[in-house]
Amino acid sequence: MPFKPVEGKGNSGFLGIRPLTLISFEEDKSKGFDVFLRVNVLQEGSKFEQDFAILGNFEKNSDGTILLSSLVKTINRLFDTLGDGGGIDTMGNWVTQDDTIIDDIGTYLTGKYAGGTGEYPYLAYFYKKPVKGKTYTQIWPYIVHNNNDDRETLSSFIEFIKSKGVLKEAHGTVETVTTPGTIPYNGQF
């Protein structure tokens, strides 16, 4: 018989604002985006890694420099949370705090910030996203430190984007797909 849970049942203990640890970062230049950075995480209490992607194309001036956009804000938020002074420069290159070009951002970030130490120093929002009559567990691409102040900041942010219709969650009885590592596009903000 197909598994078709009713809302509020099933793995609801793994939804909402949840602690996580960073496992790895992977850059995929073959996807055709200026940025496609997959962040692999392990949620506290789970045996399965999940991921989210920061992806998109930069908005650019006529001289080729990038403009402030939701993609830039998402990248800056990630680097700020990690405590890394690097990020992207005005041409869209990955750079360290001292403007040294980073050739492989996935290897750079994994080496400095990932590894799954058994601690859960970050929080993220896990939710069910409806996609063509099914739902997929998604992670909104915004992590914060695992403390009360940052939890409140994340909670307020999630409520704001829900109120604006940016984050759409599944409700009611739907078929649930829970294949670890198979995450459709979850956008950026």
First to last CA, the chain: 38
DSSP-derived 3-state class of residue 44: coil
In contact, 54 and 34? CB cutoff 8 Å? no
Secondary structure (3-state) at 154:
helix
3 state DSSP class of 22: strand
Contact, 186 vs 53, CB < 8 A? yes
Residues linked to residue 17 through DSSP beta bridges, in sequence order: 125
Beta-sheet pairing, 134-139 with 175-177: parallel
Q: Would you give the DSSP letter of residue 11?
A: S
- DSSP for 24-35, written as a single string: EEEE-GGGSSSE
Cβ-proximal residues to 32 (8 Å cutoff; 6+ apart), any chain: none
- pTM, entire model: 0.80
Inter-CA distances, 169 with 16, 114, 136, 172, 180, Å: 11, 29, 10, 10, 19
The sign of the dihedral angle between the CA atoms of 13, 17, 22, 28 is positive
CA atoms within 13 A on the CB side of 131: 15
Q: Are 170 and 130 in contact (CB under 8 A)?
A: yes
Tens digit of each residue's pLDDT, the chain (189 residues):
565 544 444 445 789 999 999 999 999 988 889 999 999 999 999 999 999 999 999 999 999 999 999 999 999 999 999 999 999 999 999 999 999 999 999 999 999 999 877 789 999 999 998 888 888 899 999 999 999 999 999 999 999 999 999 988 887 544 444 444 434 434 443
